[in-house]
Structure 1
């Protein structure tokens, strides 16, 4: 669900005025060796559902419990095998974007937790890729060149050596466990510790120690409220 006014500072929330919103419904169908993904957009302002838009691919959405990421006028979902499903709710288009060719050999659902869609530099589509062998995260951005051709560009590489020991010295499984769009931060989860990586500053923050063997996903949320009007006695008269 998306607030129609994307920036909460651009409109007023109070008890007399509820913000309008848009809701995207996603459905997956399976037949033969293909999967069909369909989306439909609801607009609370007009109280109407739009047309159903579908695309057929060999992969399904990697994890339906994993939140989509909004970048610009589009929503993005990670597909199994690390391609990306894009729904542009302004143009009403649904397409599949291939992952960087560097990872063309990567297949299967076991790699899904090594990829995280994010907002890249200049509010472009971004992708974080975890390399367990090199203990690093590659940050990619989808950019357009002077000829209008859009492709993936490697923007940054973040080393994780100081946080996690080498697999050769210790069995240490690392996963990308969530993403916070508001602060542009990635959650990292291992079999022993959890961290937040802030992408602009490339600063890590420790958030907890693993007490059980299973991993957990993080689902950040933002809440706000309208402060009550101060009592009359608090208002200073000039």
Structure 2
């Protein structure tokens, strides 16, 4: 049985002047080596939960550990073992792909031949090596998305947080990104993945948790939660059955 890498206990977050909790007494565990899908409608609490786990915002109450490290006592140590790939591109447009990755690698204390080798290997796998010396502002959305992904993985994190990694990309870019994620997962990185692309999540994730109103409403392997949901034939059926058809415009 895999050991637990993320343990969340009764975690809550209420923003100042808010009428309700964005994350409400949520408990959840993630096993080492999983690709864990965190799904939910707009406003469900996904971004708030991930922001707390990444150390960007403080919980109102509750606790969590990542690889045995407590956020209360080991916040700096946690930041060294996690990678974060946001939905927005965290890249400098006037720098080249190579310059961006050298900069982000150095932020994690990487340098010399090791860093250059990691950059070249990653660019090569994702079909970008021939564009290494081109400025990011000349890249397509799919190319930027791939460089963004490499930037979050250069330090080989134990846990990778991924927000909508294939949003707005072409089919070819999407396929190479998914292959890359599967490869780094096989090397040992646990992936926490959020997306509105439910067919992709069903195919990619070993475990799914659907959250709504700041609470976990179902958790399990994709096939299991489809089987236990009445009249469901896909993850999308489960999602709509549990969260409803009402629009969630924010």
Band of TM-score, shorter chain: under 0.3
TM-score under structure 1 length normalisation: 0.28
Task: Point out which structure has higher relative CO (alpha carbons under 8 A, 6+ apart).
Answer: 2
TM-score under structure 2 length normalisation: 0.27
Which structure: larger Rg? 1
